[in-house]
Amino acid sequence: DIVMTQSPDSLTVSLGERATINCKSSQSLLFNSNNMNYLAWYQKRPGQPPKLLIYWASTRESGVPDRFSGSGSGTDFTLTISSLQAEDVAVYYCQQYYSIPSLAFGGGTKVEI
């Protein structure tokens, strides 16, 4: 099974500053036939369902502010919040959708101000 490892576990960032979250997969998420990375990022606020932010490692979901960006390929990925806003306080998860049955999530990164 693919294992997803996120770092750091938590992050304290000042308003307007950059936040960077890393995600490492135990095997490559790059599907050679279409050259796509099967990696998504979600934002989870207390009492709310997860919200899809980024998919295919770097495609921003419709309506997501452009301060959120995703990068990386293969086994190493990064979510960047370029200028942290108060509403970005949340837990962020990466997830691989390369392989069923184990559609694993990372352990989560808590972003605080």
Partner 1 sequence: QVQLVESGGGVVQPGRSLRLSCAASGFTFNNYAMHWVRQAPGKGLEWVAVTSYDGDNKYYADSVKGRFTISRDNSKNTLYLEMNSLRSEDTAVYYCASHDRHFDWLLPFHHWGQGTLVTVSS
* Binding interface with partner 1 (CB under 8 A): 1, 38, 40, 42, 44, 48-52, 55-56, 61, 91, 93, 95, 97-108
- Cβ 60 to partner 1, closest distance in Å? 12
CB 67, CB 85: distance < 8 Å? yes
- Cβ 79 to partner 1, closest distance in Å? 14
CA distances from residue 81 to 20, 49, 84 in whole angstroms, order as listed:
7, 20, 6
Euclidean distance between CA atoms 103 and 34, whole angstroms: 19
Q: Is the peptide bond before 8 cis (omega within 30 degrees of 0)?
A: yes
- Cβ 48 to partner 1, closest distance in Å? 8
**Toward partner 1, which CB reaches closer, 42 or 84?**
42
**Toward partner 1, which CB reaches closer, 72 or 106?**
106
